[in-house]
Chains A and B, each alone.
Chain A
Amino acid sequence: MSVRSGTRPEPAWRARLRALLRDTTLAGRPLEWYLSGWRLALILLVVMVIFPWLVGSTFVADAIAVGIYITLAVGLNIVVGYAGLLDLGYVAFFAIGSYAEATGTFGALQLNSVTGEVIHTPVLPFWPLLVIGALVAGIFGIVLGAPTLRLRGDYLAIVTLGFGEIVPILFNYFPFWFGNTGMSALPPADINLGGLTITFSDPLNRIPFYYVVLAVVALVILGSFSLRDSSLGRAWVAIREDETAAASSGVNLVRTKLLAFGLGATMGGLGGVLNGAYIGAISPNDFPFFVSITVLMMIVLGGIGSIWGVTLGAIILRFIDVDLLGRISQFVQANPVVNNPVSPLHFLSTVDFNQAKYLIYGIMLLLMILFRPQGIIPDVRRRRELKGIGAAVESTSAIGVLEREEAGAELAAVDTLDQTTYAGPGSDDIGRSGD
C-alpha cells in the first residue's frame, strides 16, 4: 500500500445523496434536519411501533431475535466501545440473565419423594425478574470485573473469556439447574385489562412480546446515549485513550471501569431475561463462546463505539442468522440449474447455508478489521483513533493536539497504514448524522 496524497474525492453517489437530503424540504425544513439526533430516533421508534402491522408474523419473530441481540450489542459496546476493555466472555451475563429468568418463572424443581412426581413452584413472575435478572447480571459484572482491573488489553480479554467458559460449566454442574438437560423458562403471564387480555404465551402471536422487546431495546439505546454524553461516558473515553493520563486528571479508574463492566453486564442480563422468556427453555449449551464472538462481531461490523452502528451490526448479523441463510438455502435448492442432476452446480442442492454461518461471520470480521476497522457507521472519535493520521488533521480539541503528536510519530510508518478509507474533513457526515 502506498500513501495517497491529499483527500480522496467523495464518491459521487454520496455527494448526490447529501445534496438530495439538503435540498429536499419537508414542511420548510431540509430532510437532513429530520434525519439527525433525536428526530431520527423518534422516526425509527415510530416505524418500529407500527412494524408488526407492516410485515408478516415471521418478521415479528425475527425482530424479537434481532432485538435481543441489539440489547447485547449495545451493552457490550459500553465495555468494548466506550471503555476500551475487550470482554470476550460477555455470554456469561447473557447466561446469568437467562438462568435468572428461568429460575424465577419456572422455579426450582423438586421431586416428591412419596409419589415420585416432579413439581415446580414459580418464585417470581416475569416483570420483576426483568429488573432482578438485569441487576444480578450487573452485580456479577462488577464481581467478575473487580479482579481483572489490573489487567489491560489482551490479558483482560483472556480472563473474561475464561469467565465466559466457567459460568455455563457451573450452570451445568449444579443439579439445581438440571445440568445438561437445562430447564424451562416461562413467558410473561397474561395481562387482563378490563375486557382485553394480552397474551404473551401464544407462539402464533408474538406481537405483545415484540413490544416488550422493543421497549427494552429503546430503553437500552436511550440509556446508552445518555451514558455516552455523561461525565461517566467521558471518563470511559479518557481511560480508553490513555489510562495514565486519565488517572492523573482525576478519573477514578477502579470505579469507572467497574461501572463499565457492571452497566454492560446489566444490559447483557436484560437480553438474557428476554431470551429465556422468548426461547422457553434454556440449557448450558445455549451459551457457548460463539455467542460472545457474535456480539463482538456485531460491534466491529457496525462500528466500535457507535450506538447506531452496533444496532445495525446486530440487525445485519442476526438477520443473516435467523432468516437470510435459510432463504438462500431454499432459493438455491429451488433453482432449476441446481436441481438438474447433470448440472455441475447440482452439489449445491444438499448444501445447508446455515452451517456456513460462522464461516461467513469469520470472513466478514476479518475483512472488516483489515479494510474498514471503523465499521459501517463509524463512531467519530473511534475513527480518529483507528486512522491515526486522518484524526490529527480533523481534530481541533485538546485531545486532537495529542493525537496529532502521536500521528507525527507514526508518519514513518505510513506505508503500512491502511489509507484506503481515509476521508477528509467533514466527508463522512452521512455516517455521522445519526450519532
Chain B
Amino acid sequence: MHTMALAAAGPAGFLNFLQAIKIGITAGAIYALVALGYTLVYGIIELINFAHGDVFMWGTQVTFVLITALGITSTIGGWQLVGVLALLVVAASVFCGVLNVTIERLAYRPLRRAPRLAPLIAAIAVSFILENIAELWRGPGQIAFPNLFPSTALININQTFVVEYRDVFIVVLALVIMFALSRFILGTKLGRAMRATAQDPEAAQLMGVNINTTIALTFLLGGALAGAGAVVFTVSTAGYVWFFTGFQFGLYAFTAAVLGGIGNVNGAVLGGFMIGIVEGLSIAYLPQGSILSTAVVFGVLVLVLVFRPTGFLGAQVPDKA
C-alpha cells in the first residue's frame, strides 16, 4: 500500500516516508527501553507489571524536577548538555529502579503464591496510585518543558527528511544500554541467576540462587531502564510532563514486548522498534492518523496475541494460566 503511494508521490513522497520511519525509529528506541522492563519482569515472575508505565512516568517527573532545580530553561549545547544528560539518566534510573523494587516488595511479593490474577490486580492498583499521586501533585494538565537539544540538523533534505542531534542521542543511548544489559544478563553471575530463576525458580533456589534478591534485582534493572527511557523521552520528544503519560506509553511498550515475544530480551528491542515504526507510519499515512494510530497499535497487539501469542522471537508456551 505504501509503495503504491510512494510511486505516485515521487521523491517528496519518499522523503516523507523516510521521515515517518525516522520518527518511528526514535520513538521505537524509547519503547524498547520500557519494553525491556516488562519483558524482564514477565520473564522472571510471569507478571504483567501494569505499573511499569507509571514508573516510567515518575521518571519523567524526576527529570522535570531536576531540570527545574538546575535552572535550565532553554537549549544548551556542548559538554554542558552531555553532563546534564548523564546526571539526569543516572538520577532517573536510580529513582525508578528503587521505586520499582519498593513496589515489588510491598505489593507483589506478598502475592507471589496467590492465584494468578491477584498480583495483576495489585499491579493495576499500584498503577492507579502512582498516577493519581502525580496528578494531585502536578495537576491534571500537561506541563510544558524546554527542549534541551540545539535544533541544528545533521541531515536536512528539503525540510522534509530531517535528522537532528537528539535523534542520534536517543538511538545511540538506547543501543548502548541494550548492549550493556545483554552483556549483564549473558556474561555475569547475577545475570545467570536471573536466567536460572526465569527458567525454574525452585530449581534455581536449590542451586543456591537467592530468589528474592534476584527478583528484586530484575525489578531494579527494569525500573532503571524505564528511568533512562523517561529522560530520553522528556528531554527530546515529549515537550511536556503529564501524569497520564505512563498509561498509553506503557501499553505501547507492553505491546512491543509482546510483539517481540514476551520474556525475550532481544524480542523486546525488536518489538519496540517495530511498534515505533507502525505508529510513525500510521500517523503519517492514515486519515486522522493521530487518532487512529492508537487503535492501530492496539489492533496489532490483539492480532499478535490472537494469532502468534509467542511473538516473533518468543518460544515460551503462552497460555500458562
Does residue B153 face the partner (Cβ distance < 8 Å to A)? no
Chain A 135-179: CB-based contact to B (< 8 A → 1; otherwise 0): 000000000000110111111011101110110011011000000
The contact of B319 among A150, A293, A417, by CB within 8 Å, is A150
With A148-B306, A356-B136 as contacts: A416 and B110 at CB distance below 8 Å:
yes
Chain B 114-134: CB-based contact to A (< 8 A → 1; otherwise 0): 111110111011111101110
Residues of chain A within 8 A (CB-CB) of B1 are none
The contact of A172 among B121, B128, B291, B299, by CB within 8 Å, is B291
The contact of B258 among A158, A166, A289, A358, by CB within 8 Å, is A158
Residue contact B299 to A166, C-beta cutoff 8 Å: yes
The contact of B298 among A166, A293, A385, by CB within 8 Å, is A166
Residues of chain B within 8 A (CB-CB) of A243 are 321
Residue contact A293 to B124, C-beta cutoff 8 Å: yes
- Centre residue among B116, B117, B129, B291 by max chain A CB count within 10 A: B117
The contact of B305 among A155, A166, A169, A365, by CB within 8 Å, is A155
Residue contact A154 to B125, C-beta cutoff 8 Å: no
**Contact segment of A272-280, A317-325, A342-350, A366-374:** A366-374
With A153-B116, A173-B288, A359-B128 as contacts: A165 and B294 at CB distance below 8 Å:
yes
A50 CA / B2 CA spacing, docked (Å) = 64
Per the 8 Å Cβ criterion, residues 15-37 of A in contact with B are none
Chain B 288-305: CB-based contact to A (< 8 A → 1; otherwise 0): 100110110011011001
Residue contact A293 to B305, C-beta cutoff 8 Å: no
The contact of B129 among A84, A147, A152, A363, by CB within 8 Å, is A363
Does residue B309 face the partner (Cβ distance < 8 Å to A)? yes
Chain A 399-434: CB-based contact to B (< 8 A → 1; otherwise 0): 000000000001001001110000000000000000
A291 CB to nearest chain B CB (Å) = 13
- Centre residue among A151, A155, A293, A356 by max chain B CB count within 10 A: A155
Contacts from A to B (Cβ < 8 Å): 84, 86, 88, 147-148, 150-155, 157-159, 161-163, 165-166, 169-170, 172-173, 243, 289, 293, 296, 300, 355-356, 358-359, 361-363, 365-366, 369-370, 373, 385-386, 410, 413, 416-418
Does residue B113 face the partner (Cβ distance < 8 Å to A)? yes
With A151-B318, A386-B115 as contacts: A158 and B305 at CB distance below 8 Å:
yes
Please, which residue of chain A has its CB at the minimum distance from the CB of B286? A173
B297 CB to nearest chain A CB (Å) = 9
Residue contact A365 to B291, C-beta cutoff 8 Å: no
Does residue B56 face the partner (Cβ distance < 8 Å to A)? no
A88 CA / B140 CA spacing, docked (Å) = 24
Does residue B251 face the partner (Cβ distance < 8 Å to A)? yes
The contact of A386 among B114, B127, B288, B292, by CB within 8 Å, is B114
The contact of B121 among A166, A170, A369, by CB within 8 Å, is A369
Residue contact B110 to A370, C-beta cutoff 8 Å: yes
Residue contact A153 to B319, C-beta cutoff 8 Å: yes
Does residue B189 face the partner (Cβ distance < 8 Å to A)? no
The contact of A355 among B111, B115, B136, by CB within 8 Å, is B136
Residue contact B111 to A370, C-beta cutoff 8 Å: yes
User: How many residue pairs, one in A and one in B, have C-beta atoms under 8 Å apart?
Assistant: 137
Residue contact B118 to A369, C-beta cutoff 8 Å: yes
Residue contact B294 to A151, C-beta cutoff 8 Å: no
- Centre residue among B47, B254, B318, B321 by max chain A CB count within 10 A: B321
The contact of A361 among B116, B128, B319, by CB within 8 Å, is B128
Does residue B48 face the partner (Cβ distance < 8 Å to A)? yes
Residue contact B301 to A158, C-beta cutoff 8 Å: yes
A408 CA / B284 CA spacing, docked (Å) = 58
The contact of A365 among B112, B128, B309, B318, by CB within 8 Å, is B128
Residue contact B107 to A370, C-beta cutoff 8 Å: yes
Residue contact A362 to B129, C-beta cutoff 8 Å: yes
Residue contact A155 to B318, C-beta cutoff 8 Å: yes
A150 CA / B110 CA spacing, docked (Å) = 30
The contact of B117 among A153, A170, A410, by CB within 8 Å, is A153
Contacts from B to A (Cβ < 8 Å): 46-48, 107, 110-118, 120-122, 124-129, 131-133, 135-136, 140, 247, 251, 254, 258, 288, 291-292, 294-295, 298-299, 301-302, 305-306, 309, 318-321
Residues of chain B within 8 A (CB-CB) of A385 are 115
With A159-B301, A166-B295, A169-B291 as contacts: A362 and B125 at CB distance below 8 Å:
yes
Please, which residue of chain B has its CB at the minimum distance from the CB of A290? B128
Please, which residue of chain B has its CB at the minimum distance from the CB of A284? B291
The contact of A153 among B112, B128, B132, B321, by CB within 8 Å, is B321
A147 CA / B299 CA spacing, docked (Å) = 12
Residues of chain B within 8 A (CB-CB) of A157 are 48, 117, 120
Residue contact B113 to A358, C-beta cutoff 8 Å: no
Residue contact B301 to A365, C-beta cutoff 8 Å: no
A165 CA / B301 CA spacing, docked (Å) = 12
A363 CA / B124 CA spacing, docked (Å) = 11
The contact of A410 among B113, B127, B320, by CB within 8 Å, is B113
Please, which residue of chain A has its CB at the minimum distance from the CB of B307? A147
Residue contact A359 to B129, C-beta cutoff 8 Å: yes
Residues of chain A within 8 A (CB-CB) of B306 are 147-148, 150-151, 159
Residues of chain A within 8 A (CB-CB) of B294 are 165, 169
A355 CA / B243 CA spacing, docked (Å) = 13
Please, which residue of chain B has its CB at the minimum distance from the CB of A363? B129
Residue contact B309 to A155, C-beta cutoff 8 Å: yes
A21 CA / B48 CA spacing, docked (Å) = 46
A37 CA / B63 CA spacing, docked (Å) = 57
Extra contacts besides A355-B140, A362-B128, A417-B113 (14): CB < 8 Å: A148-B305, A148-B306, A150-B319, A154-B117, A159-B302, A165-B298, A358-B128, A358-B131, A362-B125, A365-B122, A366-B126, A369-B111, A416-B110, A418-B114
A157 CB to nearest chain B CB (Å) = 6
B321 CB to nearest chain A CB (Å) = 4
- Centre residue among B48, B128, B299 by max chain A CB count within 10 A: B128
* A and B contact pairs by CB, cutoff 8 A, 27 listed: A84-B117, A148-B306, A150-B309, A154-B46, A154-B47, A157-B48, A159-B305, A165-B251, A166-B302, A169-B294, A169-B295, A355-B136, A358-B131, A358-B135, A359-B135, A359-B136, A362-B126, A362-B128, A362-B131, A363-B129, A365-B121, A365-B124, A369-B122, A370-B110, A370-B111, A386-B118, A416-B110
